[in-house]
Structure 1
């Protein structure tokens, strides 16, 4: 299995090199770039491609802001998955980062095992938020905040669900049962259950409640 290629961006040298050393020692990880400035990351990625970009959301004042940086990276490197690691992880910041294209968010105060888990999930195409972060966002993010933030990516499209998996999840979110969905699309209950399970894995959720919370946070209004 190919290692997950990771590029790091953080303007604090201790954090940057500490992360690089820790992640490089993790099985299945390869740190391919360590950057202090966003322009160096953007210029370095073509020659040192990465599967996952691990970014600090709040860099120095003369740098691109987190929103502009994520948007630029999504345009220039659409195949790279973006995971934000930041000391600023209030619900507004997390929600904004997710809405403009990040696939996950980890607070710098969280345990390293959570960061490792987040990297593996996001690199696989899933969306990652800790359970506590998901609930905090669901309680504070309103429809007005979502409208003010600009372009909002669809969580189902971001997670690269198949068309049939999207059908199942959208129907499920609309309140339909597995049996009703099976009848609607003339598929077996077993097939619908399998498609639902696959979609859950790609979205990085493990329960019905997590699915509804995630949908509320990062799907279009």
Structure 2
């Protein structure tokens, strides 16, 4: 008899955590061995128990190791052989591309049926890629819009600065006053950044900022290419 696939599930929302576990229990051969609510707890678990696959929320603030892409990067560096299934509500070009660069081969949108979590675990445990329907549709759209071009999404220093200040709670007018630019210029830079990222709503911009660790960046920690340093 084949050994079960041991799964650790991490999410800061108890309802999602419970739902994901229940969805996984419906799949023969999958065993939930531990649960975590934030990154401190998650890393401690991974250091002390045997785990074959990690299922983790992307936006999971409050822990010592952060959340979003910084956390995924930390996990990939410190547990390089551990397959990761990422749970998220956010789908945009920059995020999906970065996750892929970090070695994540499975992303499940929380708006899809939770059964896709189990399917994702089954796939990554066999070194196969798996994207839930919403994520796959987004990727297909991105490829169509790209028209065969492979263009990196890169924000300028000023665009990134405006995004960082906006998601910190400042208004366009307040940002203009702080940076000594016109309101029109700030608004244009914000809209340009959103267009580059494939984002249409402010709520998605907040999610993107959290996932990329921008909420914790200071203005001097961004280089001229728009990358966090």
Give unpaired runs (5+ residues) of structure 2.
Answer: 157-229
TM-score with structure 2 setting the length: 0.58
**Structure 1 residues 114 and 22: alpha-carbon distance in aligned structure 2, compared to 1, 3 A threshold:** closer
**Structure 1 residues 137 and 116: alpha-carbon distance in aligned structure 2, compared to 1, 3 A threshold:** farther
Deviation at residue 146 of structure 1 after TM alignment: 8.0
Write out per-residue CA displacement over residues 88-137 of structure 1, whole angstroms, 9 at most, x where no aligned residue: 22333222222222121010011233222211111110122244233033
Cα distance in 2, alignment partners of residues 29 and 146 from structure 1? 39
What is aligned with 2:137? Answer: 132
What is aligned with 1:59? Answer: 60
Write out per-residue CA displacement over residues 176-198 of structure 1, whole angstroms, 9 at most, x where no aligned residue: xxxxxxxxxxxxxxxxxxxxxxx
TM-score with structure 1 setting the length: 0.60
Larger displacement relative to structure 2 (31-40 or 12-21):
12-21
What is aligned with 2:106? Answer: 104
Cα distance in 1, alignment partners of residues 155 and 91 from structure 2? 20
Larger radius of gyration between Structure 1 and Structure 2: 2
**Structure 1 residues 77 and 105: alpha-carbon distance in aligned structure 2, compared to 1, 3 A threshold:** same
Q: Kindly indicate whether residue 80 of structure 2 is the aligned counterpart of residue 72 of structure 1.
A: no
Cα distance in 2, alignment partners of residues 119 and 146 from structure 1? 32
Q: Secondary structure at the match of 1:27?
A: coil
Deviation at residue 147 of structure 1 after TM alignment: 11
Contact 1:95 1:137 in 2 (8 A): no
Contact 2:37 2:60 in 1 (8 A): no
What is aligned with 1:26? Answer: 27
Contact 1:70 1:101 in 2 (8 A): no
Write out per-residue CA displacement over residues 63-82 of structure 1, whole angstroms, 9 at most, x where no aligned residue: 61311111111111111101
Write out per-residue CA displacement over residues 26-79 of structure 1, whole angstroms, 9 at most, x where no aligned residue: 211010110001111111112222111111111226661311111111111111
**Structure 1 residues 40 and 107: alpha-carbon distance in aligned structure 2, compared to 1, 3 A threshold:** same
CA RMSD of aligned residues (A): 2.4
Q: Kindly indicate whether residue 115 of structure 2 is the aligned counterpart of residue 113 of structure 1.
A: yes
Deviation at residue 139 of structure 1 after TM alignment: 3.7
Cα distance in 1, alignment partners of residues 122 and 35 from structure 2? 19
Aligned residues: 148
